[in-house]
């Protein structure tokens, strides 16, 4: 399977189910991906909304996922450090972990971006998206993404 990101919860470019939003259970959707290029040492994930009125809104920052990982289950815990050693960064609500789609109006696009890295990042839990992007510079072997839509009723 190529290095592509997908979710069993929503098809690319289609609506994200309410369960994964602020109007539902506000839990992270399941994600899975194929084999990354060698020599991947870890993965990083950023989920954000570029359509937010105040600029891009960050919904999820997760890094140092093990190189052997090929999926994230539904409802990933928001702990600073997870049992597999991966670490949560801070979202735009200034909290760790996933925060689901919650657009103030209209239909927004939500991009889940996965990066294959040639290193394990020396970055403490709680880093911002900007700090993660800076730490990843020069270490990205490949990246893939899946986009879902959400509009509040």
Task: Look at the alpha carbons of 51, 144, 17, 97 in this order and tell me if their dihedral is positive or negative.
Answer: negative
Q: What is the mean pLDDT of residues 89-105?
A: 97
**Confidence check: pLDDT of 120 > 80:** yes
Q: Is the pLDDT of residue 1 over 70?
A: no
CATH number where 95 lies: 3.90.280.10
Q: What is the DSSP annotation of 128-153?
A: -HHHHHHHHTTTEEEEEEEEEEEE--
The mean pLDDT of the chain is 97
Quote the tokens at residue 7: 């979710």
Indicate the number of domains in the chain: 1
Question: Whole domain around residue 39: which residue ranges?
Answer: 5-151
Bin 29: left if φ > 0, else alpha if -120 < ψ < 50, else beta. Answer: beta
Q: What is the pTM (predicted TM-score) of this model?
A: 0.97
């Amino acid at each position: 399977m190529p290095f592509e990101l997908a979710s069993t919860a929503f098809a690319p470019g289609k609506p994200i189910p309410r369960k994964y939003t602020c109007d539902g259970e506000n839990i992270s959707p399941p994600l899975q991906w194929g084999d990354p290029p060698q020599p991947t040492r870890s993965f990083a994930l950023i989920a954000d909304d570029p359509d937010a009125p105040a600029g891009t809104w960050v919904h999820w920052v997760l890094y140092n996922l093990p190189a052997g990982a090929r999926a994230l289950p539904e409802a990933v815990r928001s702990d600073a450090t997870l049992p597999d050693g991966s670490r949560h960064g801070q979202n735009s609500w200034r909290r760790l972990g996933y925060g689901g789609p919650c657009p103030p109006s209209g239909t927004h696009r939500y991009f889940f971006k996965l990066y294959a890295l040639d290193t394990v990042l020396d970055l403490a839990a709680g880093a911002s998206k900007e700090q993660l992007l800076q730490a990843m510079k020069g270490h990205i072997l490949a990246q893939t993404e899946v986009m879902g839509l959400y509009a509040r009723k």
